Amino acid sequence: MSLVLVDTSIWIDYFRGKTVAEPLNKLIESNQIATNDLILAELLPSIRFRKEEKLHRLLLAIRKFDLEIDWEEIIRMQVRNFEAGNNHVGIPDLLIAQSAMKNDLILFENDKHFQAMKNIFGLELLRKEDQESNI
């Protein structure tokens, strides 16, 4: 399997013990996870505030892909979202989708915006149901 970009939504569900994030255990064990600075910027402030040093170090050790933002492409993506009636996608979600597509990463997420973008852009997603069928 390809590397998997783990969205903030999955990390939060994982930390809360939600079943939707259970496949993350297998991905961590097989060293298939990836991150980027945007995802880390969403996660690390709370972790630092709670002084969870070990978790902080572990997250920083994950293979990180640089964000190579193509703003014109972000604008085109948002226009296509509007045309498809997907009107509430934030720029951070667009940047994460763009990063996954540019780096040929599968995106593991739990966010309805990404599901809609899958149909519009061919974004490759990993869902809990997909992972269970591969176990």
Q: What is the reported pLDDT for 77?
A: 97
Domain count, the chain: 1
The length of the chain is 135
pTM: 0.91
Q: What is the CA angle 35-40-46, rounded to 5? A: 145
What are the tens digits of pLDDT across the range 59-81?
A: 999 999 999 999 999 999 999 99
Q: What is the DSSP letter of 135?
A: -
> Percent of the chain, pLDDT > 90?
90
Average pLDDT over the chain reads 93
Residue-range definition of the domain harbouring residue 104: 4-133
Q: How far apart are CA 2 and CA 106, in angstroms?
A: 7
Kindly report the CATH number assigned to the domain that includes residue 90: 3.40.50.1010
Q: What is the reported pLDDT for 1?
A: 63
Please compute Rg for the chain using Cα positions. 15
What are the tens digits of pLDDT across the range 2-43?
A: 899 999 999 999 999 999 999 999 999 999 999 999 999 999
Q: What is the CA angle 3-37-60, rounded to 5? A: 75
